[in-house]
């Protein structure tokens, strides 16, 4: 997947620039973000895109030395299933 990384979002866009999937994580403070939203277009559901997005976001946050709080229900479930990323949680 060719995800696009911006300061508080990892996204997947169609070649026509339409948004297909995203996970957003606005800053809470200098070292913490809130993973608050995950979206996958209906055309991509059931293909594991949300999980790939969440892993990309988690890896991105780890590389930046940031912690996360979770308010997105998908993110909460994903982190419960991936103990190797528990160190990112605040």
pLDDT of residue 82: 98
pLDDT of residue 28 exceeding 90: yes
pLDDT of residue 1: 76
Which CATH number, 3.90.1300.10, 3.40.140.10, 3.40.630.30, 3.30.230.10, labels domain 4-88? 3.40.630.30
Global pTM value: 0.93
Q: What is the mean pLDDT of the chain?
A: 96
Percent of the chain with pLDDT over 70: 100
For range 10-30, the mean pLDDT: 96
**Cβ neighbours of 57 (radius 10 Å):** 27
- Please give the structure tokens belonging to residue 81: 């299933």
pLDDT of residue 34 exceeding 90: yes
């Amino acid at each position: 997947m060719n995800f696009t990384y911006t300061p508080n979002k990892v996204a997947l866009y169609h070649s026509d620039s339409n948004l297909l999937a995203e996970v957003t994580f606005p800053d809470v403070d200098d070292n913490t973000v809130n993973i608050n939203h995950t979206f996958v277009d209906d055309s991509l559901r059931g293909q594991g895109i949300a999980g790939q997005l969440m892993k990309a976001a988690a890896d991105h946050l780890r590389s930046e030395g940031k912690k996360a709080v979770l308010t997105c229900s998908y993110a909460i479930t994903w982190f419960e299933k991936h103990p190797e990323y528990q160190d990112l949680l605040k």
